[in-house]
Amino acid sequence: MAMDVVEIDGLRLRCVIGCTDEERRDRSDVVIGLRIGADARNAGRSDVLADAWNYRTPTKGVIRVVEGRTWFTVEALATEIARVLVTEHDAPHVRVRVHKPGALRFADSVGVVIERTPADFAPEKHWAEAVPA
């Protein structure tokens, strides 16, 4: 089955991100792009907002996470954004792009793109739980 995708581009937020004292002194810009798997068939047929995947509430959750913590790496930030979308907002698949403008001299920005599904955030079983008694 083909997956429809909700796209959110250029979400510009500010957070403390980086490893050096200079980077951690002030908030830095980050630019986020999201591709969120969704089923748009019902909304496409009905043209009723209630049938669409609500992107406002999950986006507010992403903003809360990005601005509410400090980060050392864009990888950790991207992973936490994915976790929020998958575990708190039932996204079956997400692609998260996080870029930090000005992080590298002579480059517009530096960033990472990750893809995650619910399987990436499933609780791990302890080895003893997996072995029958």
Sign of the CA dihedral with 12 first, then 15, 20, and 22 last: positive
Q: What is the 3-state secondary structure (H, E, C) of the chain?
A: CCCEEEEEEEEEEEEEECCCHHHHHCCEEEEEEEEEEECCHHHHHHCCHHHCCCCHHHHHHHHHHHHHCEECCHHHHHHHHHHHHHHHHCCCCEEEEEEEECCCCCCCEEEEEEEECHHHHCCCCCHHHHCCC
How long is the chain?
A: 133
Active site residue 60: no
Q: Which of 35, 97, 99, 100 is catalytic?
A: 100
The residues annotated with a catalytic role in the active site are: 100
